[in-house]
Amino acid sequence: MSPQSAGRRRVHRSVATGLSLALAATLQAAGTAKAAPSQDARVIRTATLGEIPLGAFSNALLPGSVDDDHGVKLGGIGSDIYPAGRKGEYWTVTDRGPNGQIKVNGTKRRTFPVPGFDPAIVKIRVCGDKVQVIDAIPLTTSSGQAVTGLPDQKSRDEAPYTYDAQSPLSYNPNGLDTEGIVQAGDGTFWLVDEYGPSLVHVSARGKVLTRYVPKGLGPTGAHYPVVEALPSVFLHRKINRGFEGLAQLPGGDLVLALQSPLSLPDADAGSASRTTRLLRFSPGKEAVTAEYAYRFDPVDVVDPGEDDTSELKISSVVAVGGDRLLVEERTDNAARLQLVELKRRSSILGGSWDDDTTSPSLEQLDDPASAGVPVLAKRLVVDLGKVDGVQRKIEGIARVDNDTLALINDNDFGMTDGAGAFDAQGRLVDSGIRTAVTYVRLPEGL
């Protein structure tokens, strides 16, 4: 074993033992929620992550990476959840880190109060009503440097600013806004990212092995291999709405879910659309083998009282056997799980809908099925918005057994938008929202 590998292993052990144990006393209990008698699906258990200073967490993984965490606690690990093998243990993944928006002279600026934060794969254990951090793996470049969560390209991503939105930060071509996670049989991980959007293959210890991006992206400066292997039409992803969900089918193929409809032919069309896309990717072939059109329900069906179609998102996709998937349609306040089957004849890969000059675009069609588009058929499994005890902003779902799901929410690191997110001393005014794992028992098996 090289000294560098031994050092990394010691760092990981420090998170699994020293960090989590030293901070265990700060973990806060959460009571088990009870479902209303009228609901078929019900919450059977809830566990909550306590307060772990983000600087301590980050510096245990990559010493010196964070000099001031501005009072932010570890959070954001609810971007996805995937079973880790042992009962009650899961792999989770953070997103790009604490970020918000502050309006300056009438224009919103994207803030990164802890720019040194490095996205991490975090292993958790649910013990009673507590969530414990038992391991953490930083995402690194080929040379072992932090990828960071900073935006990649000036031409495509929002400009990053300091916590007060006053000073610009540098872009980072290595930066990742990670979301979905699965673990392959060889111990490596697959992640999806919103910036590219991209699919990212990561070693068991966090080194980026390959990042797969849309054809024509032409990225430069990344300190890891980048391959243009995804359809070029995905270059039209909405800002901050790239790939969000990731599932691993029994045969090893991956399914990538685009969070929101593409901005085709423009942002207005994308915001008004209810049609997004899924990709099927073969790790063996390193290629996309199918593409599917997915149609959201009307926004006021998903979230009664909401009238903004652009609030619809896919946040999680979960394999449930064969070519079947659970797909989470959500807003920030509500979520519904739909069951779909990925049939070969449903693929639209390589057709006119992958040509960004096609008019009208797939996203502009009011009724894609009537235009001959093989939209995925779906069946509602559960409306989580009607299940008492489910957290808001559920972004990760894992299958526990035939009729039980584990849900995890994204608490955004306790961040809120606006100038009031930090006090006069530059310390976070925490939202009070905690990361929680919630177990939901379904009325019938999947």
**Can you read off the two tokens belonging to residue 432?**
């009070």
Element (H, E) at 82: strand 81-83
pLDDT at 172: 97
pLDDT at 325: 97
Q: Which residues contact 37 (CB under 8 A, 6 or more apart)?
A: none
Q: What is the pLDDT of residues 74-95, one digit of tens each?
A: 999 999 999 999 999 999 999 9
Name the phi and psi angles at 236, rounded to 5.
-90, 20
How deeply is 227 buried, as exposed, middle or buried, from its count of CB atoms within 10 A (0-12, 13-18, 19+)?
Answer: middle
How deeply is 29 buried, as exposed, middle or buried, from its count of CB atoms within 10 A (0-12, 13-18, 19+)?
Answer: exposed
Q: What is the pLDDT of residues 319-332, one digit of tens each?
A: 999 999 999 999 99
**Can you read off the two tokens belonging to residue 275?**
């049609």
Cα distance between residue 80 and residue 257, in whole Å = 13
pLDDT band (50, 70, 90) for residue 12 = very low
Cα distance between residue 151 and residue 93, in whole Å = 18
Q: Is 57 helix (H, G, I), strand (E, B) or coil?
A: helix
Q: Which residues pair with 330 in a beta bridge?
A: 313, 335
Give the residue among 356, 385, 182, 355 at the shortest CA–CA distance from 283. 182
Give the residue among 399, 338, 408, 390 at the shortest CA–CA distance from 35. 390
CA distances to 18, 29, 95, 157, 425 from 111, rounded to whole Å, are: 31, 31, 14, 13, 17
> How far, in whole angstroms, is CA 203 from its chain's centroid?
19
How deeply is 406 buried, as exposed, middle or buried, from its count of CB atoms within 10 A (0-12, 13-18, 19+)?
Answer: buried
Sheet containing 100-104: order of strands: 100-104, 107-111, 160-161
Structure pTM? 0.90
- CA dihedral (266, 268, 270, 275) positive or negative: negative
Question: Residue 31: is its pLDDT beyond 80?
Answer: no
